[in-house]
Amino acid sequence: MSSSQILPPSHESVQELAKELKLGVPQRYIQQHREPTFVCDHSSPLPSIPVIDMNHLNHTDKDPLIHLRSVCKEWGIFQLVNHGVDKSLIKKMKEEVVNFFNMPVEEKLRYKLTAGEYQGYGQTILHSEDQKVDWADRFYMITNPLHRRKSNLLPEFPPVLRDTMESYLQEMQKLAMYLFGLIGEAVEIEKQEMMDVFDDGMQSVRMTFYPPCPQPDQVIGLTPHSDAAGITILLQVNDVEGLQVKKDGVWIPVSFLPDALVVNVGDILEIMSNGVYNSIEHRATVNATKERISLAMFFNPKLEADVGPAKSLIANTRDPPMYKTLVMEHKNSPLIAESFHALFSILEKGLLRQLTVEAFQLAIDPVTATGCSRCSPLLTADRPQAPPRADCRQPLRLRHYAAGRRPP
Ligand SMILES: O=C(O)CCC(=O)C(=O)O
């Protein structure tokens, strides 16, 4: 089966399933090899993700930018405080997301994901019959450019949710553009280049409901992945935690500060920064007794933009580009159609980054470039015989490519 094939959804709602569980969690949700979470003790306290205060970023001196650069490099994620987004808007947005998931299932199914689609209300997008399903219901949609909005999604939302979301999207877009400017400047990408790439860019939203689960250690709310985005801004809607990030090989729970927004670096920013920044791998666990709800917004380049190491950074630093440049979307190219799809698939860990790195690797050394017909549309096109590799999704492999070395 090709990796691009999308199967019909497995069932209608995990939220409903969780209410009716009698005989334990069905097998298709059970994930045996979940990597353990960091356990803290006296000698090793729980590390916490860095905090960036926007009041400090607003000053003109260089120190905050040096700090921002080091946070995006060492972590690739931070909590943003004093972000200036109207508190009452955030409160209203949270209430409306809760109201959405509280609607009767029949109402939510008006927005249902259909086979072959990745926008709408549903669960894990299935690429194979034996694929495990995350313990969560999700609603995903593209919100910009406007002509890419689906007429049966946002426009058909209950009016208060729709209007609140419109205001929230606008505020978040302004915030994202401000952050893009600074995050770019911190790594010597000229502001104009960031604006050219991200202004009026592809924007999308995911609302997620993680129902309580009687076997929380046996399921996963959100499979580990990095975002194929520029940046993601995450709002934790209720006070239940579950987000974890992988830092130095260890899964660390994220404790949300009140009123903070969590910002993470995605694959596109890692590529644009020529590998300086870290597209952080993350996952979500679920709670035994309480549901968890989150709202993620993804900010991407405009569809006609090139994605590669930023030209101004390469000119300023004179470092060799570590990734090849690919256009975000090209109507005539099946390769790019695949990578475009990957932008919205949370299943393919770092696929966009992998594509650009593999393209680079192929260009410099086609013999040692390894890959797999399962995870790499690029290699599928160029080397149809490439066999599936058990380790094809190891982020470490990508780091080795990025460093120009052979993967282990
Ligand atoms: O629910 C969360 O905390 C994480 C959400 C997320 O990473 C995503 O939707 O991609």
What is the 240 CA–ligand 1 centroid distance (Å)?
13
Mean per-residue pLDDT of the chain: 81
d(CA 161, CA 182): 31
Least confident window among 242-251, 262-271, 315-324, 379-388: 379-388
Domain presence at residue 314: no
Residue 242 CA, closest ligand 1 atom number: 3
Domain match, 253 and 338 both = no
Domain presence at residue 36: yes
d(CA 380, CA 351): 14
Ligand 1 pocket test: which of 14, 125, 135, 222 has the largest number of ligand atoms within 8 Å of its C-beta? 222
130 pLDDT more than 90: no
Record the tokens describing residue 319, joined without a space. 């470092």
Domain match, 56 and 202 both = yes
Residue 296 CA, closest ligand 1 atom number: 9
Domain presence at residue 318: no
- The strand pair at 77-81 and 51-53 is best described as parallel
Query: Closest Cα to residue 222, out of 140, 152, 142, 143?
Result: 140
Domain match, 284 and 235 both = yes
Domain presence at residue 4: no
pLDDT in tens, 328-338: 665 544 334 44
Classify residue 43 as exposed, middle or buried by CB count within 10 Å of its CB (0-12, 13-18, 19+). exposed
Which pLDDT band, with edges at 50, 70 and 90, does 38 fall under? confident
Domain match, 23 and 100 both = yes
CB-CB contact of 352 with 268 (8 Å): yes
Q: What percent of the chain has pLDDT over 70?
A: 76
Residue 136 CA, closest ligand 1 atom number: 1
| DSSP per-residue letters across 255-314 | -PPTT-EEEEE-HHHHHHTTTSS----EEE---SSS-EEEEEEEE---TTSEESS-HHHH
Domain match, 249 and 376 both = no
323 pLDDT more than 50: yes
What is the 366 CA–ligand 1 centroid distance (Å)?
36
pLDDT in tens, 62-93: 788 999 999 999 999 999 999 999 999 999 99
Please tell me whether the peptide bond between 8 and the residue prior to it is cis, using omega within 30 degrees of 0: no
- Which pLDDT score is estimated for 201? 92
- Which pLDDT score is estimated for 404? 38
Provide the domain limits for residue 70: 9-303
Residue 138 CA, closest ligand 1 atom number: 9
- Which pLDDT score is estimated for 223? 86
pLDDT in tens, 172-209: 999 999 999 999 999 999 999 999 999 999 899 999 99
CB-CB contact of 277 with 270 (8 Å): yes
- Which pLDDT score is estimated for 348? 43
400 pLDDT more than 90: no
d(CA 80, CA 50): 9
Domain match, 124 and 261 both = yes
Domain match, 50 and 196 both = yes
Domain presence at residue 140: yes
Interior CA angle at 222 toward 219 and 227, to 5°? 155
Which pLDDT band, with edges at 50, 70 and 90, does 378 fall under? very low
95 pLDDT more than 50: yes
- Which pLDDT score is estimated for 344? 40
What is the 383 CA–ligand 1 centroid distance (Å)?
34
Residue 243 CA, closest ligand 1 atom number: 3
Domain presence at residue 238: yes
What is the 370 CA–ligand 1 centroid distance (Å)?
30
Which pLDDT band, with edges at 50, 70 and 90, does 384 fall under? very low
Residue nearest to atom 8 of ligand 1 (CA): 296
Domain match, 364 and 221 both = no
Q: Residues with Cβ within 6 A of ligand 1?
A: 206, 208, 222, 227, 234, 243, 282, 284, 294, 296, 346
What is the 194 CA–ligand 1 centroid distance (Å)?
24
Residue with tokens 């409306």: 96
- The strand pair at 231-236 and 243-247 is best described as unpaired
Domain match, 286 and 405 both = no
45 pLDDT more than 50: yes
What is the 296 CA–ligand 1 centroid distance (Å)?
6
d(CA 100, CA 105): 10
Q: Phi-psi category of 126—alpha, beta or left, where left has phi over 0 and alpha has psi -120 to 50?
A: beta
pLDDT in tens, 276-287: 999 898 999 999
Domain presence at residue 320: no
Domain match, 281 and 341 both = no
| DSSP per-residue letters across 23-46 | S---GGG--TTPPPBP---SSSPP
- Which pLDDT score is estimated for 359? 59
Residue 177: which CATH number?
Answer: 2.60.120.330
Q: Residue 66, Cβ neighbours under 10 Å: how many?
A: 11
SS3 assignment, position 202: coil
Which pLDDT band, with edges at 50, 70 and 90, does 120 fall under? very high
- The strand pair at 203-210 and 261-265 is best described as unpaired
* Average pLDDT rounded to a whole number, residues 303-329: 85
What is the 403 CA–ligand 1 centroid distance (Å)?
29
* Average pLDDT rounded to a whole number, residues 126-141: 86
| DSSP per-residue letters across 215-245 | SGGG--SEEEE--SSSEEEEEE-SS---EEE
Query: Closest Cα to residue 221, out of 231, 233, 213?
Result: 213
Domain presence at residue 92: yes
Give whichever of 39-48, 112-121, 150-159, 297-306 has the largest mean pLDDT: 150-159
Least confident window among 10-24, 152-166, 169-183, 204-218: 10-24
Domain match, 370 and 261 both = no
Domain match, 228 and 364 both = no
CB-CB contact of 286 with 213 (8 Å): yes
Q: What total of structural domains would you count in the chain? A: 2
Ligand 1 pocket test: which of 49, 119, 121, 232 has the largest number of ligand atoms within 8 Å of its C-beta? 232
